[in-house]
C-alpha cells in the first residue's frame, strides 16, 4: 500500500545508501521495511543499502529482528549523538526520539539530548559528507496547546508551548531540532525537510506504550474500566500507520527544502466516543469511567484539541486511505495475532 501510494518516486532512491536513526522505533521500523520490500521488487537490480542505527542491540523480540541477516541491512548500535558513522551515506532519516510520554516524562534530559544533540551531530555529518537529503521526523507537539482560533493547525502557526511545563523536554527540543534544520539549510546548504507527525497508530505500537489507543484496547480486552479524563470531550485525530509512512516518504522525496509538513488525519473523534468504539470493536464488557483531569499522572499538559490542516501535504499528492474504525479493527486483530492480548 505504501509503495503503491508513493509510486515511481521511489526510483530516485535506487542504489542509494540510507541511514535511519531510531530504526527500531514504531515509525522508523516501517521505513526500513519499505526499503527492504523495494529491494525485493521495484529496485531489485539496483537495491538501496540500509544502515540502521539503534540505541539497543536487536534481539529476537525487536521490531527489526527479521532484518538481521538481510544482506542489504547493516546495524549500528549506539547513541545517535556520539556513535561514529560510516562514510558514503546519501540520505538520512532521523527518527531517533522518545515519542511516548510514558518514556520521555521519566527521562527528560536524555529526551532533550537525543532531539537536540543528536540532530546537530547528524547535520554536521551532512555538511562533512555532502548528504543529498535529510528528513527530520518531528512532532505535532511543537504546537503545544494550540489556540482554538488556529485550529485546524497550519504549519505557519508558531505554537503555544510552556517552556517550563511537564512536556517541555520533548516539545522544546523538537522545536529546536527543527530550528537547527532550518539553520543548516540557510548557512550550510543542507537539503533538510521536516515532518510534523500527529497521532499515529497501527501494528507494532506496543500495547504498553501508554498512549490512548493501546491503553483503551488493553483495558477493553480484559473487561477493565476504561478511564477517561473528565467528560472525555477532548478532540483527537488518529492516522493509520500506512497513511503516515506514505506521507513521510512523499515529504522526503518531493518535499520542499527547508519546509515543514503536517502528517496526520482530519477525522476528528472525542475521547469518550473513541472509548465506546474500542469497547464495541473488542466485544468488551468494560465500563467507561471518568476521572478528574488533575489525576492524570501519565500525560500532564495534554492539549484539548490538536486537529491538523493537511492542505500543504496534499500538494505533494498525499491522501489518507484508512478510516479510523477500519484501522482500529486491524490493530486489534494484530494484537490478537501477536498474542499480545
Handedness of CA 241, 219, 276, 232 (dihedral sign): negative
In whole angstroms, what is the distance from residue 339 CA to residue 274 CA? 23
CA nearest neighbour of 327 among 209, 185, 186, 200 = 200
- Active-site hit among 170, 184, 240, 261: 170
Cell readout for 244 is: 503516515
Active site residue 170: yes
Q: Give the β-pairing of 268-270 and 235-237.
A: antiparallel
275: number of Cβ within 10 Å: 23
Sequence-ordered list of residues with C-beta below 8 angstroms from that of 271, at least 6 positions apart, any chain:
212, 228, 229, 232, 233, 234, 236
In whole angstroms, what is the distance from residue 228 CA to residue 212 CA? 9
Provide the strand spans (E) within 199-341.
200-201, 226-229, 235-237, 239-240, 260-263, 268-270, 288-291
3-state helix, strand, coil in the chain (%, to 5): 40, 20, 40
Give the chain's end-to-end CA distance (angstroms, integer).
26
Say which residue the cell 509510486 belongs to.
Answer: 7
Alpha carbons within 13 angstroms on the beta-carbon side of residue 278 total 30
CA nearest neighbour of 245 among 264, 232, 219, 227 = 264
In whole angstroms, what is the distance from residue 198 CA to residue 143 CA? 10
Task: Give catalytic residue positions.
Answer: 170
Amino acid at each position: 500500500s505504501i509503495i503503491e501510494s508513493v509510486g515511481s518516486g521511489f526510483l530516485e532512491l535506487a542504489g542509494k545508501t540510507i541511514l535511519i536513526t531510531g530504526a527500531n522505533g514504531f515509525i522508523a521500523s516501517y521505513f526500513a521495511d519499505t526499503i527492504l520490500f523495494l529491494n525485493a521488487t521495484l529496485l531489485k537490480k539496483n537495491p538501496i543499502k540500509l544502515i540502521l542505527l539503534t540505541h539497543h542491540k536487536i534481539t529476537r523480540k525487536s521490531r527489526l529482528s527479521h532484518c538481521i541477516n538481510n544482506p542489504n541491512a547493516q546495524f549500528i548500535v549506539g547513541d545517535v549523538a556520539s556513535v561514529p558513522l560510516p562514510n558514503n551515506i546519501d540520505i538520512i532519516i532521523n527518527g531517533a526520539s522518545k515519542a511516548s510520554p510514558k518514556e520521555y516524562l521519566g527521562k527528560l534530559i536524555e529526551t532533550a539530548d537525543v532531539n537536540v544533540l543528536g540532530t546537530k551531530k547528524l547535520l554536521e555529518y551532512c555538511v562533512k559528507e555532502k548528504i543529498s537529503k535529510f528528513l527530520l521526523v518531528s512532532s505535532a507537539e511543537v504546537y503545544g496547546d494550540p489556540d482554538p482560533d488556529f485550529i485546524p493547525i497550519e504549519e505557519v502557526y508558531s505554537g503555544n508551548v510552556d517552556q517550563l511545563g511537564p512536556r517541555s523536554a520533548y516539545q522544546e527540543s523538537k522545536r529546536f531540532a527543527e530550528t537547527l534544520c532550518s539553520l543548516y539549510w540557510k548557512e550550510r546548504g543542507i537539503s533538510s525537510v521536516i515532518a510534523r507527525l500527529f497521532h499515529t497508530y497501527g501494528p507494532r505500537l506496543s500495547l504498553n506504550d501508554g498512549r490512548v489507543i493501546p491503553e483503551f484496547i488493553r483495558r477493553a480486552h480484559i473487561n477493565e474500566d476504561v478511564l477517561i479524563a473528565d467528560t472525555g470531550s477532548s478532540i483527537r485525530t488518529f492516522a493509520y500507520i500506512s497513511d503516515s509512512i506514505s506521507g513521510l516518504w512523499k515529504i522526503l522525496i518531493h518535499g520542499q527544502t527547508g519546509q515543514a509538513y503536517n502528517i496526520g488525519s482530519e477525522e476528528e473523534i472525542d475521547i469518550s466516543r473513541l472509548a465506546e468504539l474500542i469497547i464495541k470493536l473488542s466485544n468488551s464488557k468494560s465500563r467507561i469511567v471518568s476521572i478528574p483531569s488533575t489525576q492524570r499522572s501519565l500525560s500532564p499538559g495534554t492539549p484539548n484539541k490538536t486537529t491538523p490542516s493537511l492542505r500543504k501535504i496534499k500538494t505533494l499528492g498525499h491522501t489518507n486511505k484508512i478510516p479510523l474504525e477500519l484501522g482500529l479493527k486491524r490493530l486489534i486483530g494484530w494484537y490478537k495475532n501477536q498474542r499480545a492480548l
